[in-house]
Structure 1
Amino acid sequence: MSSSKKTTVRPRALIIPEGERNYITPYGMEKLKSEFTQLKSKERREVVATVAWAASNGDRSENADYQYGKRRLRQIDSRLEFLTKRLEAAVVIDPANILSDQVGFGATVTLLEEDGTEKTYTIVGVDELDLEKGWISWKSPLARAMLKAREGDVITFDTPKGQREVEIVNVSYVPLAVEAVLNNTVVTPNET
């Protein structure tokens, strides 16, 4: 009864210091809850059953199913502990409820780059970061430079290649679709 599941390798998450808030959108909260539920009620149970079966086959020292299962169980338990801490520290902020012309958490901001191109970013929680979608953490240098700015403002921020200057051309607060998490689909703010 060998398992052919792939182990998901996640980058080391940004550590949130004790007592600091973990700002997150409803989308991000549902995504964390969904992952927690999947790990706890499905994957962990399957691995426990595999480990029990493998243990019943005798010598555990040379039993690959048993050894892999125990290692996978430790990974799952570690991730569950991490998710529990993140969920406990979460402060949900719904961009749909924000009426402001200033950039803040949950804002979708269009910037005019120095070369004339426009780029759009959405400021989200550290657990929601996805550069391919243009979702940046509220702790990132760009997001921090944009906070409290308005349309027409020019901001300067540090990058590894030096300082950059961009103009804010649009600020909006668009809800991220929670249904996308529940249906296992990806929706970006521009598609909602």
Structure 2
Amino acid sequence: MSRAFVKEDGPDNEPLPDLPISPHPNYVTPRGLRALRDRLAAVQTDLARLKVRADRLDLLPERAAERDIRYLEARLRSAILIDPANQPAGEVAFGARVTVADVAGSETTYEITGEDEADAALGRIAPYSPLARALLGARIGDRVEWARPSGRMELEILAIDYPRDDGRTA
């Protein structure tokens, strides 16, 4: 291929815009900190693999990996490690696994984790979510109001525990 048809200075060679960083303090559990480190190592490995490809005409995957590395490095630099095992027993705080019941008696368990670790499908919620804000500071037997877009819901705190780093509860 003629060099006349290869773009050397163009938008393909510019870095992608950075991913937005949360303005909130970056609290992380030990599991969340490990996950961030693992994600960073995986993306760095992917970038190294991308840079040795024989066909590097499409640089977008490399730019995306570089952007993700910048994001993950920033999140790791700002991480504030909170070990759930050191949280106050009997009170909902960061890292707590909380079992609640709604007015119909349906029980659900939520775990308050860092933003990067939050996953609704696993019941992991960020500490700045409306549900976490309603739960924080509550004790067993307390009733809290969760302000949802579809209306307020009253929840009763049934159990509070703090998972240890080995997956068991304290």
- Is residue 2:29 matched to residue 1:25? yes
Identity %, equivalent residues? 34
Residues 101-147 of structure 1: CA deviation (Å, up to 9, x unaligned): 11000001000111111100110000001112111111110100111
Length-normalised TM-score, structure 2: 0.83
Find 2:57's aligned residue among 66, 71, 75: 66
Find out whether 1:127 has 2:130 as its counterpart.
no
**Partner of 1:137 in structure 2?**
126
Q: How far 1:79 sits from its partner (Å)?
A: 0.3
Query: What root-mean-square deviation, in Å, do the aligned CA atoms of Structure 1 and Structure 2 show?
Result: 1.9
Among 103, 111, 114, the residue aligned to 2:103: 114
What is the CA distance between 1:176 and its match in structure 2? 4.5
Distance (whole Å) between structure 2 residues aligned to residue 141 and residue 21 of structure 1: 16
1:16 to 10, 22, 30: 22
Unaligned runs of 5+ in 1: 1-12, 55-64, 178-186
- Establish whether residue 168 from structure 1 lines up as the match of residue 166 from structure 2: no
Measured in 2, the distance between the counterparts of 1:87 and 1:115 equals 41
Letter in 2 for 1:146: L
The letter of the residue matching 1:76 is A
2:48 match: 45
Q: Which secondary structure does the structure 2 equivalent of 1:116 belong to? A: coil
- Contact 1:99–1:173 (8 Å) recurs in 2: no
Structure with bigger helix share is 1
Give unpaired runs (5+ residues) of structure 2: 1-18
